[in-house]
């Protein structure tokens, strides 16, 4: 079994393309993220096939955000697929509703703090209260933990501070915005290398384009795994 600290984001157009990437990666990767961009391209079917037929772990990145009753019902439906991680926005009422929907299952609810593609100017445009991005991330992470989140999604630059929160013990930190040494940052603004993210307290790193866009995705994944510190 490969190291499940690496989650490969299958940010490709549809399930067929996702299966092709997974086939090329083979046993080098055991954990995949399937996001909103593939929802209309067979994303749930792909998640189910990779989980049930290939034994992979699945992180469904839907970032649910709605009234509590709707979130609870949506999560209850997702939980029936026996997947591993699901994202919701980190507002406490949303997190609590998601936990209720996942009750009695092994589905882990991960709260989004601040998107890794956002910086202070983006938060200003969205009318988010003043303050440095790390300060807002910490406040949202702490509130999400208090509301019952199993973990949070945060940039690797905030991982150490989140890990130091008193209510972070036993909680997961999953970090997108991870780029192997020498990779392009693409649209991510708060990034770090795989080794740095884990050293700072992340449990899992998410890497997408640097792997699936590579001429040899398996070799690219193995190169990322080689950067990870030994367990």
Catalytically active residues are 63
Greatest distance between any 2 Cα atoms in the chain: 47
* CA-based nearest residue to 201, from 5, 1, 3, 4: 5
Centre a 10 Å sphere on the Cβ of residue 115 and count the other Cβ atoms it contains.
Answer: 19
- Both tokens of 183, joined, read 């990779």
- Both tokens of 215, joined, read 């001429």
- The C-alpha atoms of residue 8 and residue 31 are separated, in whole angstroms, by 6
Contact yes or no for 108/151 (Cβ under 8 A):
yes
């Amino acid at each position: 079994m490969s190291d499940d600290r690496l989650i490969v984001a299958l940010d490709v157009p549809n399930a067929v393309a996702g299966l092709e990437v997974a086939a090329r990666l083979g046993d080098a990767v055991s954990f995949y993220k399937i996001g909103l961009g593939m929802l209309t391209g067979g994303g749930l079917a792909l998640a189910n096939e990779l989980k049930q037929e290939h034994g992979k772990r699945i992180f469904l990145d839907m970032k649910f955000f709605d009234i509590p009753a709707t979130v609870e019902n949506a999560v209850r439906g997702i939980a029936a697929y026996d997947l591993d991680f699901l994202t919701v926005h980190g507002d406490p009422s949303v997190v609590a509703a998601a936990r209720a929907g996942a009750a009695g299952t092994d589905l882990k609810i991960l709260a989004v703090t601040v998107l890794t593609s956002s910086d202070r100017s983006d938060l200003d445009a969205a009318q988010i209260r003043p303050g440095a991005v790390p300060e807002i991330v910490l406040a949202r992470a702490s509130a999400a933990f208090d509301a019952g989140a199993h973990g949070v999604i945060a940039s690797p630059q905030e991982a150490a501070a989140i890990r130091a929160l008193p209510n972070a013990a036993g909680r997961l930190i999953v970090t997108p915005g991870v780029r192997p040494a020498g990779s392009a940052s693409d649209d991510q603004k708060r990034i770090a290398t795989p080794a740095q993210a884990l050293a700072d307290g992340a449990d899992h790193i998410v890497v997408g384009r640097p792997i699936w866009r590579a001429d040899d995705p398996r070799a690219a994944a193995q190169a990322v795994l080689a950067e990870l510190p030994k367990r």
